Chain A
Amino acid sequence: MHQKRNTLLVLVVLLVVAIISSLFGVGIGSTSIAPVTTMKVILSHLPGFSSWFSVSDTATEAIVWDIRLPRVILALFIGSALAVAGAALQGLLRNPLAEPYTIGVASGASVGAALVIIFVGLGTLGAVTLPLAAFLGALITGILVYRLAVVNGHLAVETLILAGVVMSSFMSAILSFMLTLAGESLQQIVYWMMGSLGLRGSDQFIYTLPLIFVGVILLCFFGRDLNILTFGDETAGQLGVSVERTKKLVLLLASFLTGLAVSMAGTIGFVGLIVPHLIRLVLGPDHRVLLPVSAIGGGIFLVWADIIARTIAAPVELPVGVVTAFLGAPFFMYLLRTRKSSGHF
Chain B
Amino acid sequence: MSNMVFKIHDIECSYGSHQVLKGVNFEVPPGSFLVIIGPNAAGKSTLLKTITAALKPIGGVVYFQGKDLNEISRRDLAKQVAVVPQETEVNFPFTVLELVMMGRHPHLGRFDQENKQDFEIVRQAMESANCWHLRDRNALELSGGESQKVILARALAQEPEIILLDEPVSHLDLSAQLEVLNLLKEMNSNHGVTCIGILHDLNLASQFSKQLIMLKDGKIFKTGTPKEVLTVENVKKVYNTDVLVIKHPLSGVPQIVVLPIASDGSVSSSQLRVHLICGGGVGGALMGQLSRLGCRVSAGVVNIQDTDWEVGQALGLEIVEEKPFSSISTRSYEANLQMALQADVIFALETPFGRGNILNAQVLEPLLADGKPCYFVDAEHLPERDYTGGDVDRCISMLKEQGLQLLPDQLSVLKEVQNLRKEKSDVETALG
Contact = CB atoms under 8 A, between A and B. Distances in A.
Contact of B93 (A94, A235, A242, A284): A284
A158 interface: no
Contacts of A240: 74-79, 105-106
A239 B106 CA distance: 6
Interface size, A (range): 20 to 34
Nearest to B79: A240
Interface of A is mostly: loop
Contact of B74 (A241, A343, A344): A241
Contacts of B79: 240
Given A224-B105, A343-B140, A1 B116 contact: yes
A253 to B, nearest CB: 14
Nearest to A281: B93
B100 to A, nearest CB: 11
B75 to A, nearest CB: 4
Contacts, number: 80
A238 B90 contact: no
Interface stretch (B36-44, B81-89, B266-274, B410-418): B81-89
Given A4-B113, A224-B108, A227-B102, A238 B52 contact: yes
A232 B89 contact: yes
Nearest to B164: A238
Contacts of A239: 78, 102-103, 105-106, 154, 158
A64 to B, nearest CB: 38
A285 B94 contact: yes
Nearest to B82: A238
A158 to B, nearest CB: 13
B58 interface: no
B65 interface: no
Interface size, B (range): 35 or more
B387 interface: no
A221 B102 contact: no
Contacts of A1: 115-116, 119
A205 interface: no
A94 B158 CA distance: 24
A238 B78 contact: yes
Interface in B103-152: 103, 105-106, 108, 110-111, 113, 115-116, 119, 140-141
B158 to A, nearest CB: 7
A238 B166 CA distance: 13
Contacts of A284: 93-95, 98
B157 to A, nearest CB: 10
A113 interface: no
Nearest to A233: B54
B116 to A, nearest CB: 7
A66 interface: no
Interface in A59-112: 91, 94
Contact of B105 (A228, A232, A243, A344): A228
B73 interface: yes
Interface of B: 52-54, 73-79, 81-83, 85, 88-95, 98, 102-103, 105-106, 108, 110-111, 113, 115-116, 119, 140-141, 154, 158
Interface of A: 1, 4, 91, 94, 221, 224, 227-228, 230-232, 234-235, 237-243, 280, 284-286, 343-344
